[in-house]
Structure 1
Amino acid sequence: MMASRRAVPPGASLTAPAVVGGVLVFLATALSGVLATMGVLAVRMARRVVTPAGRVPDTTIVDVDAAAQTITLTRTADTELPGRYGLFTSGTAPYLKLGSVLGEDAGTVTRKLLTHVPAESRLAPQAAFSGWYYDDPAQLQLPFTDELIGGPIGPCPAWLFPAAGPGDTWVVQVHGRGTTRAECLRAVPVFHAAGITSLIVAYRNDGEGPRSRTGTYTLGATEWRDIDAALGFARRHGAPRVVLMGWSMGGAIALQVELNSPHGDLIAGVVLESPVVDWRIVLDYQAKKLKVPGPVTQLALGALGTEWAGAVTRAGGPIPFDKLDVVARAGELRHPILILHSDDDGFVPSDASHDLLVARPDLVEFEVFEVARHAKLWNYDQQRWNDRITRWLRAHGLTAAEPAAHS
């Protein structure tokens, strides 16, 4: 006779196998839930890295005094900085130039307005503090022309500021992530004063250049080909030597041109402002600031670096982080490099810039700033910034004229 199968009576003890089995099922369920959550977060982080994003408001307009021409903003590590800056707003005045700090308290900063704001103006409270300063090439009051550079996937708009004198050196400038070529306008006067022609170029997926199939960044791995096309343009227009200048992610792009360009014989040197030299250091730093768990960051970087995850991350293909690590590839560098970077950058840490100096002291010079924030070194101390670039250009025989006053 078969024994009957009975439920365990209330209060009775389960056997050890039943307890262990239940715990394992619970742990497996919990672990799968944790892994699924981490996977979702990793995908979001990976997409954020490669997706071009608009300007993000980072301060609030508290007050505008039209009579005194002052503006009061919420206080941040950026809005309290000395120097001249820009402010992106919405309403009747979409872009404002800001002067020195006139007053501050624990929560706000009052600055001088360098763009006249009429009393009847209406500004939305949310705004984005910027290091651009100039937002239109005409503001430099220098002759320039609009050009189109024939890039591999389509035409890239550019501004060409010809040298005033007989100088034959060109500089090709590369803007950073989430910005456009107007970011580079601050550097035109110092090069112009040195007798150097400036070419400021848009590149794929930056909102002005051509759009790739995915519309996403590759962090310099493909964008460099558009800048290489600009070197070809310079060569065809008689330039015997070119200086590359890159801002932030533009630094990563310029370094890829230095490492990979078939026009390498044209390159005379590289100037880097707040550059990305190793993306893994930058992304790990930014993830920690956002309190992203370390395993999620590693999952995101791993996904970005693999072919199979391209459809999920929308990167369109693997990001070659090893090839983008210029410290690891320092032995391949061929030309003099000037780095301008702040140890208080706050967005792209200066660690890899220091590492590159250690790896190639024969080629790399490093002007270390403090206090100044990311890509705002010119704004913080324009005279020092201009003078250091001018001295470097002179030392390498790249100037064609005695430096004039810089605007």
Structure 2
Amino acid sequence: MKRLFPSTINHRPLTRLRRRHLGYAALGYVSLVIAGAFLGAEIVLRSKTRWVKGDFVPVGRRGNKLYLPASPETLSKGPLGIVPLLPNKGHLVVGPHRMVGTVVERPILQERGALPHGALAWVSTYLYNGTPAQLGAEYEDVLVPTEVGEMPAWHVPPHQAERDALIIVVHGHGGQRAQALRMLPAMIRTGCGSLFVTFRNAHGAPKVGKGYLTLGDTEAEDVNAAVLWARENGYRRVILYGFSMGGNIVLSVLRPRFEPSPLPIAGVMLDSPALEWRDTIRWQAQRFGLPGFLARRVGRFTQRIVTRRSGQDFDEVDQLAAAPRFKVPLLLWHGTRDRTIPLAQAQALAAARPDLVEFHRVEGAKHIRTWNISPKEYDGQLEAFVARVLGREG
């Protein structure tokens, strides 16, 4: 009788099945890498929106208290901005939250216009979604001439007639000028003018070529043009203030190719800056749930696609590598809950240039929400830095 050994039973079909499963797994892996990379490249190159981030919710009101549905935005730390959509226009700033049953209660701190009970409203940690007029500030719409067109900007002149220093405020990737209006009162108190600028291929600005962003490289030309605008409008020096990708842009203005600057740059302020894009792209891949080994591959492929499409030079916008050549004082904020730009980048810059960098690690702060955790502390740090770099201390 012929003996059958278990090891030989269905050996070939099992081998074929394993190979088939391995093939499917390999195909799925490659497909995931390719799909993730193309999606990532599209976001890196083009992301922009006309809307300031926030929620649209019905608002209850009882006296000086507002009642909001619970959501990540309405439960965020620090103040919120409220802009009623219907039936009346206005603007409110509300204070810290507490839960009352299943709704969020917040006290009204500031109010312009009217917000009746039951109104539908925009609610945001950015506080403002309009122009400096939402804060009652006098300003003018201006155009900054550049080689690729005129860039819209808001100019808030200083209270005094003399124009000494101008703070040039630069928003980030997919951002808007209104996101930095939270800091406008502190900037006004410094005695400086301020200029909230846009740059090519951002919302409201001229489109160049296919509309691709260059992550701080060519956008720096538009901010350098804003420095020239400041000189032509009577200012004697500038401070650059960048948020997220805007931080990379203002540091790019310090490159040798922009020397000599149209005006002296007294200092640079950075809020949650994107300092090294290759690391940021890998970080973003992991943020969306990809394991480390897969995120690295998606990140590398994304970089290749971005470079192939736009000619992006990632070395050119690597501000950590450029740190040794910085010459001006830097004020830096970054939050420990930032899921967009790794906190480690800010820590690396602070460690590389302790002689220049004043670093504030903000516990519990999300991306460009460092102000919200403690507005008075943030404003005080901003005002003290400006006074120091302008020689106005004491």
Cα–Cα, structure 1 residues 324 and 128, in superposed 2: closer, same or farther, change >3 Å? farther
Matches within 5 A, 1:131-146: 131-133=126-128, 135-146=130-141
Instruction: State whether structure 2 residue 244 is matched by structure 1 residue 262.
Output: no
- Alignment partner of 1:151 out of 146, 162, 183: 146
* Equivalent pair of 1:345/1:374 in contact (CA under 8 Å): yes
Q: Could you say what secondary structure the match of 1:321 adopts?
A: coil
CA distance in structure 2 between the aligned counterparts of 1:261 and 1:387, rounded to whole angstroms: 31
Match for residue 115 of structure 2? Answer: 117
Q: Which residue of 1 aligns with 2:29?
A: 34
Residue in structure 2 matching 1:353, options 341, 346, 349:
346
Distance in structure 2 (CA, Å) of the matches to 1:377 and 1:258: 24
**Alignment equivalent of 1:371, drawn from 355, 364, 368:** 364
Structure 2 distance, partners of 1:328, 1:107, is: 49
User: Would you say the 8 A contact 1:252–1:324 is kept in 2?
Assistant: yes
Name structure 2 gaps, 5 residues minimum.
1-7
Counterpart residue identity of residue 199, structure 1: L
What is the number of equivalent residue pairs in this alignment? 380
Q: Matched residues in 2 for 1:35 and 1:108: separation? A: 46
AA in 1 matched with 2:324? G
CA distance 1:375–1:248, shift in 2 (3 Å): same
Is the Cα contact below 8 Å between 2:52 and 2:179 reproduced in 1? no
Q: Residue 61 of structure 2 corresponds to which residue in structure 1?
A: 65
Q: Deviations over 1:132-156 (max 9, x none)?
A: 4363212333332221111222110
Q: Confirm whether residue 277 of structure 1 aligns to residue 275 of structure 2.
A: yes
**CA 1:80–1:21: 2 relative to 1, 3 Å:** closer
- Sequence identity of aligned pairs in percent? 27
SS at match of 1:384: helix
* The one of 167, 170, 175 aligned to 1:174: 170
2:79–2:125 contact (8 Å) kept in structure 1: no
Cα distance in 1 for residues equivalent to 2:366 and 2:235: 34
Residues 88 and 31 of structure 1: is their aligned pair in 2 closer, same or farther, counting only changes over 3 Å? farther
User: Is this contact kept in 2: 1:62–1:74, CA < 8 A?
Assistant: no
Aligned-CA RMSD value: 3.3
Aligned twin of 1:206: 202
Which segments of 5 or more consecutive residues in structure 1 lack a partner in the other structure?
A: 1-11, 403-407
Aligned residue among 378, 387, 391 for 1:385? 378
Q: 1:128 to 1:37 in 2, by over 3 A?
A: farther
Q: Which amino acid in the other structure matches residue 109 of structure 1?
A: V
Q: Per the alignment, in what secondary structure is the counterpart of residue 319 of structure 2?
A: coil
Give me the whole-angstrom Cα distance separating, in 2, the residues matched to 1:370 and 1:85: 19
Cα distance between partner residues in 1 of 2:104 and 2:360: 29
* Of 122, 137, 155, the match for 1:160: 155
Q: What TM-score comes out, normalization by structure 1 length?
A: 0.81
Matched position secondary structure for 1:258: coil
With over 3 angstroms needed to count, the CA separation of the structure-2 counterparts of 1:33 and 1:204, relative to structure 1, is: same
Computing the radius of gyration from Cα coordinates, the structure with the larger value is 1
Q: Secondary structure at the match of 2:254?
A: helix
Is 1:85 matched with 2:80?
A: yes
Show the counterpart of 1:74: 70
Alpha-carbon contact 1:86-1:129 (below 8 Å) kept: yes
| Aligned match of 1:405 | none
Task: Please report how far the alpha carbon of residue 359 of structure 1 lies from its aligned counterpart in structure 2 after TM superposition.
Answer: 0.2
Residue pair 1:100, 1:111 contacting (<8 A) in 2 also: yes
Match of 2:303 in 1: 305
TM-score of the aligned structures, taking structure 2 as reference length? 0.83
Equivalent pair of 1:135/1:183 in contact (CA under 8 Å): no
**Structure 1 pair 45/324, CA: closer, same or farther in 2 (3 Å)?**
same
> Alignment partner for residue 179 of structure 2, among 183, 200, 215?
183
CA 1:87/1:34 → structure 2, altered by over 3 Å: closer, same or farther? Answer: farther
